[in-house]
């Protein structure tokens, strides 16, 4: 089958990193990613099924991997060679149903007893990303054993598959995984009493964070930092209260909170700032714009940064990360506007707390949000250079989510083309 | 020798290129044949002995008022309020007319044993003046005598302990003014009437008022119905101020109004070609133009701005009247009009104007895009009596770099207005409805207004309302040489050359447009008939 594959080749990784700043095409040509004919991954055991991707998204973390701009932190946590792609809507070759893949490879997927985090529904903190009967890999798309979405086939544990309602388009469905990440970051951070929040960045992560905030907390005032006009339009469509330019965040924070400012010191600011860019500049700006005692959440995968933490220290700002998804606990009285009756995993305890898997919540939310319009560009696998170039320059090229469209590719198994 | 009146020149083949201001610099532009250039009158002859004229005005009051000496007595409290740094423009060469008048008033007060005297800069919602500006306006002698004793104050429209509510007018307008001034035994107001909008009841009713009071006439509705606010008889702004002024008088506030008028001798020797008609430029003028415009254009903005703001105008006193507010102001207006008014036949399709480096609200500072908007559509557009120089649905072409540069000390709320309001809407009514309250009550802006040198948080809104009548009237606005992004933020179109701008304007006003160019400064006012 045809598959994009990343190999552990230090020379190629160094070339990709070196060339990424000048030419994306050259960086891809000389980088670690290539298209190959490979054997489909084998099924680890009977709990696993084959999935044929229909659409598979290109995420910021994928780009960081392809262009080798990420740190080497993840290297021990992935297994080479691997096929990228963890935002996947596909067809289960076992049942023939359309599914989205909860790609995190946690204890359950690895057929291990649940670790302390997975037991508590905090799957995103799972201790077992490098254990069990499959190779290392934090998610499908980083694991040699499973394959990934940028191919004609992958394998997934049954517990990772979520059936897709017929009312959702493939485009809606491919955004369920990143929406789940956004819902998780938002739900776990926005506390009772939060009034003003800011979302820094209006790429896919930023926009989905905005959509999640507007969905879960419709009364919030949400400011969005958007660089490009298409991003501003998208943010407006998704319910941003205010859209500001890159260098306007601190002033907008002061205005909104009616606070005092002296140089870089601000007496007030946003209750929470979601940094969906992860650069030195965006994180510095986020820390300066949040109120004393407020929270800055790194939602997108940050790079290595150089920031002045004095305001963080002096204003007792919390900086936290937000990764993936698990189980969300929603106090029912705060979310009376949500209809969670269709969510498969929702359970309510005696205190009125509704527990629900984030992925399930994302699927329910998608029925309301219908975010498929954010899929702006689709490419066949063979055009991966164009696709990745477009995704790398999404904002300036009026693109939001770029995906690989595998709906016309043939099945690697005889007689299964119609699936 | 009498000065030559202003006139309207019709451009023909022999007309030389016309000087056009462009922010901190200026350039020559050729206008199409048939375009009209409105030239200001030459400066009137000044009063030869200003000191005697001032003394005479104080003792021979106008209207129903006693002479100043008769109003002064031992043991009384005298408050002298004076116009702030927004007048005159540019600042005049020393001695400033305020200094001359205030020294004369203080001498009279001393003669009558009055020693409880306060000076108050009538800021309204403007920024506080700096020490240098106060020294320049009042002279070192007055400054040094009053400031150390805390008797030189600047009106604080946000100080509840020093505001007094005098009730409301018959139209329900709140009249709240400076308590010290209102409760004085005599309030002397020293004014400079550079344009016909200034003075009269506006001096106290606006200059010494609070936001709560000022908002009754500084709003979109009032400004749209002020046609123009340079013509008080057709200005809702003035009608409201007159109601308030009369109400203030009815509450027992005793005001002795002193109004002064200046000629239009705007530019000192090295820049005097800026006041001349181009075909009368001699070799020295041409050399001065080339040398100054070339160096100003080649200099970084901060240098050219610094050079221009150091200009001190050789303005001279042409008139002084003192006494009862309305009678004084009637005489003042006659004098202002006799200096500035020019008859113009009919409106044109396009009005062009070059904006200079300074307007009322950027003295010693940057003219940001909101002030560009206000100077063009608030002030220059309104320099008319009768009808605007441009027809309804016509186009104004403004020459200015219009860069998105702001002075964070003087104009902090302008930055937020530009970034957070104008990105949402440019409609004055919507801006007023959605944003004014929040900016006006922002504690940080109030703090910076009271303790720093910042304009009040609501001030950029007033700038925007100032242009509401023009926006209502016009079919389009083009900024020639304006930064495209900043120009579009204002809701206008940028053009790189005059010919481009005229071509763009044709799409609004049609082919073969009539064009009038406002050749100002020096100040000129059109009586469009």
CA angle B76, B82, B87 (to 5 degrees): 175
A415 pLDDT higher than 60? no
What is the helix, strand, coil percentage profile of chain B, to 5? Answer: 40, 20, 40
> pLDDT tens-digit profile of B375-432?
999 999 999 999 999 999 999 999 999 999 999 999 999 999 999 999 989 999 999 9
Mutate to test the interface with A, among B414, B422, B444 (most CBs of A within 10 A): B444
Considering CB atoms only, which of B419, B438, B443 is closest to A251?
B419
Rg of chain A on CA atoms, in Å: 21
> pLDDT tens-digit profile of B450-496?
999 999 999 999 999 999 999 999 999 999 999 999 999 999 999 99
Considering CB atoms only, which of A243, A245, A259 is closest to B444?
A259
Identify whether residues A170 and A296 lie together within a single domain.
no
Cβ-count burial A218-229 (b if 16+ within 10 Å, e if not): eebbbbbbbbbe
Within a domain: residue A349? Answer: no
CB contact under 8 A, A258 and B444: yes
B27 pLDDT higher than 80? yes
Identify whether residues A156 and A197 lie together within a single domain.
no
The CATH number linked to A300 is 3.40.50.720
Length of chain A: 419
Q: Name the residue of chain A whose CA is nearest to B447's CA.
A: A260
Going by pLDDT thresholds of 50, 70 and 90, the confidence category of residue A89 is very high
Stretch (H or E) spanning A321: strand A318-321
Within a domain: residue A326? Answer: no
The CATH number linked to A37 is 3.90.180.10
**DSSP E strand boundaries for B54-156:** 77-83, 116-122, 152-154
> pLDDT tens-digit profile of A327-345?
999 888 888 888 887 787 8
CB contact under 8 A, A260 and B447: yes
Cis peptide bond N-terminal to B313, omega within 30: no
d(CA A6, CA A19) in angstroms, rounded, equals 17
Identify whether residues A208 and A252 lie together within a single domain.
yes
Identify whether residues A101 and A238 lie together within a single domain.
no
For chain B positions 431-460, those within 8 Å of chain A (CB to CB) are 438, 441-444, 447
- The stretch A43-65 carries a mean pLDDT of 95
Identify whether residues A46 and A113 lie together within a single domain.
yes
Identify whether residues A390 and A314 lie together within a single domain.
no
Within a domain: residue A289? Answer: yes
In this prediction the pTM is: 0.85
Q: Cite the DSSP H helix spans in A82-137.
A: 116-119
Identify whether residues A18 and A116 lie together within a single domain.
yes
Residue B423 sits at the chain A interface (C-beta within 8 Å): yes
Could you tell me the residue ranges of all domains in chain B?
1-358+378-398+515-529
ipTM over 0.90: no
Q: Is A299:A182 a contact under the CB 8 Å cutoff?
A: yes
Torsion, Cα of B320, B324, B329, B330 (10° steps): -110
What is the three-state SS of B472-525?
HHCCEEEEECCCHHHHHHCCCEEECCHHHHHHHHHHHHCCCCCEEEECCCCCCE
Stretch (H or E) spanning B136: helix B131-138
Identify whether residues A223 and A275 lie together within a single domain.
yes
CB pairs under 8 A between A and B: 32
B1 pLDDT higher than 60? no
d(CA B320, CA B336) in angstroms, rounded, equals 11
CB contact under 8 A, B442 and A252: no
Identify whether residues A249 and A119 lie together within a single domain.
no
**Which CATH class for the B1-358+378-398+515-529 domain?**
alpha beta
pLDDT score, position A22: 85
Q: Give the pairing of strands A88-92 and A98-101.
A: antiparallel
Residue that is last in its domain, among A286, A302, A321: A321
Q: Give the pairing of strands A353-357 and A347-348.
A: antiparallel
- Structural domain including A137 reads 2-177+371-405
Tell me the angle at which helices A204-216 and A176-187 cross, rounded to the nearest 10 degrees: 60
Name every chain A residue with its beta carbon within 8 A of the beta carbon of B441. Answer: 258
Identify whether residues A173 and A245 lie together within a single domain.
no
Name the domain count of chain A: 2
How many beta carbons lie within 10 A of that of residue A98, not counting itself? 19
CB contact under 8 A, A242 and B443: no
């Amino acid at each position: 089958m045809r598959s994009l594959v990343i190999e552990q080749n230090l020379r190629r990784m160094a070339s990709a990193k070196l060339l990424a700043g000048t030419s994306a095409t050259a960086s891809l040509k000389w980088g670690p990613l290539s298209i190959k004919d490979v054997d489909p991954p084998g099924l680890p055991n009977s709990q696993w099924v084959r999935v044929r991707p229909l659409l598979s998204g290109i995420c910021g973390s994928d780009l960081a991997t392809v262009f080798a701009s990420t740190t080497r932190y993840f290297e021990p946590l992935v297994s080479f060679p691997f096929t990228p792609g963890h935002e996947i809507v596909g067809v289960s070759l076992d049942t023939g149903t359309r599914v989205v893949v909860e790609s995190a490879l946690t204890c359950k997927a690895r057929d291990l007893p649940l670790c302390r985090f997975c037991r508590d529904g905090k799957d995103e903190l799972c201790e077992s990303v490098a254990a069990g009967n499959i190779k290392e890999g934090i998610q499908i798309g980083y694991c040699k054993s499973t394959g990934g979405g940028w191919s004609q086939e992958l394998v997934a544990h049954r517990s990772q598959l979520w059936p897709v309602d017929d009312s959702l388009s493939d485009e809606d469905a491919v955004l369920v995984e990143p929406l789940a990440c956004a819902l998780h970051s938002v739900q776990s951070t926005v506390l009772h009493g939060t009034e003003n929040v800011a979302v820094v960045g209006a790429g896919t992560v930023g926009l989905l964070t905005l959509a999640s905030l507007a969905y879960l907390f419709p009364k919030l005032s949400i400011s969005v930092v958007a660089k490009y006009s298409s991003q501003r339009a998208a943010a407006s469509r998704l319910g941003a209260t205010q859209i500001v330019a890159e260098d306007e965040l601190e002033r907008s924070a002061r205005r909104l909170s009616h606070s005092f400012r002296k140089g870089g010191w601000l007496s007030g600011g946003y209750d929470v700032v979601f940094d969906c860019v992860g650069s030195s500049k965006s994180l510095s700006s986020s820390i300066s714009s949040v109120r004393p005692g407020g929270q800055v959440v790194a939602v997108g995968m940050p790079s290595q940064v150089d920031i002045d933490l004095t305001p963080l220290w002096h204003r007792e700002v919390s900086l936290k990360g937000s990764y993936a998804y698990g189980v969300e606990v929603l106090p029912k009285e705060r979310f009376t506007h949500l209809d969670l009756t269709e969510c498969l995993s929702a359970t309510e305890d005696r205190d009125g707390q509704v527990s629900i898997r984030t992925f399930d919540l994302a699927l329910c939310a998608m029925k309301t949000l219908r975010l498929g319009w954010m899929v702006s560009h689709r490419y066949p696998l063979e055009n991966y250079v164009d696709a990745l170039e477009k995704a790398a320059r999404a904002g300036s090229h009026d693109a939001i989510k770029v995906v690989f469209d595998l709906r016309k590719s043939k099945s690697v198994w005889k007689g299964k083309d119609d699936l | 020798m009498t000065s030559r009146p202003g006139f309207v020149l019709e451009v023909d083949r022999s007309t030389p290129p016309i000087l056009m201001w462009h922010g901190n610099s200026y350039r020559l532009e050729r206008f199409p044949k048939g375009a009209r250039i409105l030239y200001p009158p030459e400066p009137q002859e000044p009063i030869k002995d200003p000191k005697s004229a001032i003394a005479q005005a104080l003792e021979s009051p106008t209207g129903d008022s006693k002479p100043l000496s008769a109003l002064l007595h031992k043991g009384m409290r005298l408050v002298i309020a004076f116009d702030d740094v927004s007048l005159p423009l540019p600042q005049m060469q020393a001695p400033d007319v305020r200094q001359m008048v205030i020294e004369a008033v203080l001498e009279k007060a001393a003669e009558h044993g009055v020693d409880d005297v306060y000076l108050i800069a009538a800021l309204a919602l403007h920024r506080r003046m700096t020490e240098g500006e106060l020294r320049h306006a009042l002279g070192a002698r007055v400054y040094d005598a009053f400031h150390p004793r805390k008797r030189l104050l600047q009106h604080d429209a946000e100080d509840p302990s020093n505001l007094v509510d005098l009730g409301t007018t018959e139209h329900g307008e709140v009249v709240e003014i400076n308590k010290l001034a209102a409760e004085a035994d005599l309030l002397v107001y020293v004014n400079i009437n550079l344009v016909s909008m200034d003075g009269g009841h506006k001096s106290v009713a606006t200059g010494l008022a609070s936001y709560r009071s000022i908002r009754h006439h500084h709003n979109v509705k009032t400004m749209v119905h002020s046609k123009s606010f340079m013509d008080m008889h057709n200005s809702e702004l003035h009608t409201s101020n007159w109601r308030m002024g009369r109400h203030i008088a009815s509450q027992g506030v005793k005001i002795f109004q002193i109004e002064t008028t200046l000629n239009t001798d705007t530019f000192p020797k090295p820049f005097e070609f800026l006041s001349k008609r181009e075909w009368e430029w001699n070799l020295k003028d041409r050399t001065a133009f080339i040398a100054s415009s070339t160096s100003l254009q080649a200099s970084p903005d901060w240098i050219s701005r610094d050079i221009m703001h150091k200009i001190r105008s050789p303005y001279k006193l042409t008139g002084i009247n003192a006494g009862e507010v309305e009678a004084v102001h009637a005489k003042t207006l006659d004098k202002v009009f006799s200096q500035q008014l020019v008859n113009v036949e009919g409106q044109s399709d396009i009005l062009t104007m070059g904006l200079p480096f300074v307007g009322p609200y950027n003295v010693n500072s940057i003219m940001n895009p909101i002030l560009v908007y206000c100077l063009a559509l608030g002030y220059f557009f309104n320099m008319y009596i009768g009808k605007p120089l441009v027809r309804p649905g016509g186009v104004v072409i403004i020459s200015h770099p219009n860069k998105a540069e702001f002075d964070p000390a003087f104009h902090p709320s302008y930055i937020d207005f530009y970034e957070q309001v104008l990105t949402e809407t440019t409609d004055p009514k919507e801006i007023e409805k959605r944003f004014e309250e929040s900016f006006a009550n922002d504690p940080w802006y109030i703090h910076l207004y009271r303790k720093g040198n910042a304009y009040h948080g609501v001030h950029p809104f007033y700038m925007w309302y100032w242009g509401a009548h023009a926006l209502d009237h016009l079919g389009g606005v083009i900024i020639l040489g304006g930064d495209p992004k900043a120009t579009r933020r204002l809701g206008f179109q940028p053009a790189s050359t005059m010919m481009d701008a005229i071509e763009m304007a044709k799409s609004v006003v049609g082919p073969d447009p009539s064009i009038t160019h406002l050749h100002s400064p020096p100040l000129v006012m059109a009586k469009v008939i």
